[in-house]
Amino acid sequence: MARPRELTELDIAAWGSFARHVRALPGRKAPEVVEIRQRAAPTVAVERATVPQGRSISPRFPVLVIGEQPPGMDNATWRRLRNGRLGSERSVDLHGHTAQRGFVALELLLRGARADGIRVVEVITGRGAGEGGGVLKRELPLWLNLPHIRPMILAALHPTTRNTGAVRLLLRR
């Protein structure tokens, strides 16, 4: 015969939440409800993740730098992408978007293009005002190196050297 297992705090809490809503039959006693004190969830400080130059997020995918030929990419494909012979088949214009809405639009573009078998997409952030450009232009390299986005992208570059407000992305097959 199997020995009865002991109830965990989770089991007791589940029974307590059920027993609160039960009415006893006439002539019977209501089930006993045991209260369990909730533990305070540990607080975690959230910091902005940055990837040091030349460091990798995962061993499989090195950090993607816009405008540099990634390791493992053949020269012919890089030249075709750089010279514009691999034109973008889909694009998203992030002008006027907040950072959050821009990130969501980028994710939707990448997932949709990947599902449709599209190889080259273009993201237009605009040049932005100021020395480093706009918020979207500064955030885009960080977004492209996120662990759930980086595996989708093979290479990234500006379509022309004069227009740094747009980035053309070559997606993996």
Segment-wise mean pLDDT, segments of 10 residues, the chain, 173 residues: 71 76 81 61 52 56 88 89 87 89 93 92 83 82 91 90 86 88
- Domain range for 22: 8-38
For residue 42, the model assigns a pLDDT of 52
- Residue 91 exposed, middle or buried by CB count within 10 Å (0-12, 13-18, 19+): middle
| Residues 34 and 85 both lie in one domain | no
Whether 68 is covered by a domain: the verdict is no
Task: Give me the pLDDT at residue 9, please.
Answer: 76
- Both 27 and 106 in a single domain? no
**Which tokens hold the place of 87?**
């034109």
Record the pTM. 0.63
Residue 101 domain-assigned (yes or no): yes
Residue 34 shares a structural domain with residue 87: no
Q: Do 91 and 34 belong to one domain?
A: no
Query: Could you give the number of structural domains in the chain?
Result: 2
- Cβ–Cβ < 8 Å for 120, 153: no
- Whether 52 maps to a domain, the answer reads no
